[in-house]
Structure 1
Amino acid sequence: MKAAIVAIASLVALTGLALLSPQWLVFMAMLALAKGVVVLGLLVLMRTGLVSFGQGLYFGIGAYAAALLSHHLHVADAAVMLLAGAAAAGLVAALLGLLLARYRDIFFAMLSLAFSMILYGVLVKSAALGSTDGFNLHARTFFGVALASGAERRVFLIAGAVCAVVAALLVHRLLGGHWGRLATGVRDNELRVAYLGASPYRVVYVNYLIAGALAGLGGALAALAVGHVDPEMTYWTTSGEFVFIAILGGIQSILAPFVAATIFEALRMIASQYAPNVWQMSLGLAMLTIIMFLPAGLWTLAERRRRSA
């Protein structure tokens, strides 16, 4: 019940922000929401004790799936683009997960990174996909309803907020039940989970599939926000951003990815504006501070406050 109340309050707040805020803030909120959805999927995967350095693969697949619908098939409906992004990434995750679910620790992390860099290389070399420049996409309708000029991003933010809230509630329900305990068991003692009759491979595979589909949804939402896709969306630095946000927020709550993504985007915007040549260093210092003083993420502060209340 508490999670549902928080979700509804968040949806109302984001809807108000979409309707009343200036365009630059709507744009930043869309990017934060898109990355928060990706990190939500990463949180599901991290509950099994695995860290993927290749979520840029599915982020890029989701973005390019949405863009290709617009660029080649002339589909201009944002709802179709969002669904296509999640479906395309989920399909690829279902295939690659058959292999990756067999690996653990550094092997899993490096294999996920390798697949992401393979896609990056293909996109860079493919003239049909825009090569290094990428290409634009245009969404003019949502579920068949034409969008007024200048209002597109506001509608996309509300749609993204609905998707994020639904995804967060489903993940909360999943991790709060039997499946979540299995995932934690795989992280803590995989052999014991197997002795109890459950399949660690199946747990990792399903969680990897969920993480991939959510990353694809986030990629499609980011593509709608920017109106452009390029190979940098699949580069290792993009995957690193998602891991950074996950570390920043922690994995204790489904709200942590969205709060951390908002802080990350705000930090990057401020740092790039006032220190454009060293903004990466600013983010690095922030990450170092979090690791040193709050190794479990910023959500630790909320947990401490709740316990002391």
Structure 2
Amino acid sequence: MKALAAAAVALALLIALALLAPQWLVFMAMLALAKGVVVLGLVVLMRTGLVSFGQGLYFGIGAYAAALLSHQWHIADAAVMLLAAAAAGGLIAALLGLLLARYRDIFFAMLSLALSMILYGLLVKSAALGSTDGFNLHARTFFGMAFASGMERRVFLIAGSACAVVAALMVHRLLGRHWGRLASAVRDNELRVSYLGASPYRVVYVNYLIAGALAGFGGALAALAVGHVDPETTYWTTSGEFVFIAILGGTQSIIAPFVAAAIFEALRTIASQYAPNVWQMSLGLAMLAIIMFQPAGLWSLAERWRRSA
């Protein structure tokens, strides 16, 4: 019940933000929400003790899936784009997961990064997909309902918020039950999980598939916010941002990825405005401070306050 209440409050706040906030804040909120969804999937994967440095692969697949529907097939419905992006991310993750679920530790991290960079190289060399420039996408309806000019991002933010809340509740339910405890057991002692009759490979595979589908959805949401896609969505720095946000927020709560993504976007915006030449250094110093003084992530502060209250 607490999770449902928190989800309802979060959704109400996001809807109010979408309706009342200026356009620049709606744009930032959409990007933060998109990255929060991707990191939510990354947190699911991290529960098994694995860190993917290649989630940009599925983020880019989702973005390009949405853009191709608009660019090649002239489908301008945002709902179709979001669903197709999640399906594309989940499908590719289901295929690549057959290989990746066999690896652990640094081998898993580097292989996921390598696959992401392979896609980046293919997109850069593909003239049909816009090469390094990419191409634009346009969404004019949502489930067939048209909206007034200038309301696009507001509608997308509301729809994305509703989907993100549903995804977060589903992940919360998943991790709070037997499957979540099994994932933690795989992280702590995979051999004992095998002796108990469970399949660590299956746990990692399913969690990887979930992470891929969520990253695909996040990629489409970000593409709708920007109105453009390019190969940078699959570059290693994009995947690094997701890992940064996951470390920033921690893995203790389904809310942490979204709060951390909002903080990350705010930090980057402020740093880019006041220190445009060294904004990456500002983010690096923030990462260093988190690792040194709050290694469990910022959400651990909320947990500590809750226990002391």
TM-score normalised by the chain length of structure 1: 1.00
Q: Distance in 2 between matches of 1:198 and 1:192?
A: 9
Please name the residue that 2:278 is paired with.
Answer: 278
Where in structure 2 are the equivalents of 1:129-148 lying within 5 Å?
Answer: 129-148=129-148
Q: Distance in 2 between matches of 1:268 and 1:85?
A: 26
Q: Are residue 164 (structure 1) and residue 164 (structure 2) matched?
A: yes
Q: Distance in 1 between matches of 2:17 and 2:92?
A: 34
Please name the residue that 2:123 is paired with.
Answer: 123
Q: Distance in 2 between matches of 1:148 and 1:192?
A: 58
Q: Distance in 2 between matches of 1:139 and 1:245?
A: 28
Where in structure 2 are the equivalents of 1:80-229 lying within 5 Å?
Answer: 80-229=80-229
Q: Distance in 2 between matches of 1:72 and 1:148?
A: 24
Secondary structure of 2:148's match? Answer: coil
Q: Distance in 2 between matches of 1:163 and 1:43?
A: 17
Deviation at 1:17, TM superposition (A): 0.2
Q: Are residue 34 (structure 1) and residue 34 (structure 2) matched?
A: yes
Please name the residue that 1:10 is paired with.
Answer: 10
Moved more, 299-308 or 252-261: 299-308
Aligned residues: 309
Secondary structure of 2:124's match? Answer: helix
Q: Distance in 1 between matches of 2:69 and 2:77?
A: 9
Q: Are residue 265 (structure 1) and residue 265 (structure 2) matched?
A: yes
Identity across the alignment (%): 87
Gap regions ≥5 residues in structure 1: none
Q: Distance in 1 between matches of 2:207 and 2:214?
A: 11
Q: Distance in 1 between matches of 2:274 and 2:141?
A: 37
Q: Distance in 1 between matches of 2:32 and 2:204?
A: 27
Letter aligned with residue 176 of structure 1: G
Q: Distance in 2 between matches of 1:224 and 1:4?
A: 28
Deviation at 1:11, TM superposition (A): 0.3
Q: Distance in 2 between matches of 1:38 and 1:193?
A: 28
Deviation at 1:307, TM superposition (A): 1.2
Deviation at 1:4, TM superposition (A): 0.4
Secondary structure of 1:53's match? Answer: coil
Deviation at 1:30, TM superposition (A): 0.1
Letter aligned with residue 203 of structure 1: V
Please name the residue that 1:243 is paired with.
Answer: 243
Q: Distance in 2 between matches of 1:180 and 1:300?
A: 19
Q: Distance in 2 between matches of 1:193 and 1:275?
A: 49
Please name the residue that 1:254 is paired with.
Answer: 254
Q: Distance in 2 between matches of 1:224 and 1:128?
A: 20
Q: Distance in 2 between matches of 1:11 and 1:109?
A: 33
Secondary structure of 2:50's match? Answer: coil
Deviation at 1:24, TM superposition (A): 0.1
Secondary structure of 2:132's match? Answer: helix
Please name the residue that 1:49 is paired with.
Answer: 49
Letter aligned with residue 289 of structure 1: A
Q: Distance in 2 between matches of 1:301 and 1:134?
A: 41
Q: Distance in 2 between matches of 1:164 and 1:9?
A: 13
Please name the residue that 2:296 is paired with.
Answer: 296
Secondary structure of 1:60's match? Answer: helix
Please name the residue that 2:307 is paired with.
Answer: 307
Letter aligned with residue 122 of structure 1: L
Letter aligned with residue 277 of structure 2: N
Deviation at 1:147, TM superposition (A): 1.5
Letter aligned with residue 22 of structure 1: P
Deviation at 1:42, TM superposition (A): 0.1
Gap regions ≥5 residues in structure 2: none
Deviation at 1:143, TM superposition (A): 0.3
Which 4+ stretches in 1 moved above 4 angstroms? none
TM-score normalised by the chain length of structure 2: 1.00
Q: CA RMSD in A?
A: 0.3
Q: Distance in 2 between matches of 1:164 and 1:285?
A: 30
Q: Distance in 2 between matches of 1:40 and 1:56?
A: 14
Deviation at 1:182, TM superposition (A): 0.3
Letter aligned with residue 175 of structure 2: L
Deviation at 1:300, TM superposition (A): 1.0
Where in structure 2 are the equivalents of 1:46-85 lying within 5 Å?
Answer: 46-85=46-85
Secondary structure of 1:132's match? Answer: coil
Letter aligned with residue 257 of structure 1: P
Q: Distance in 1 between matches of 2:168 and 2:307?
A: 24
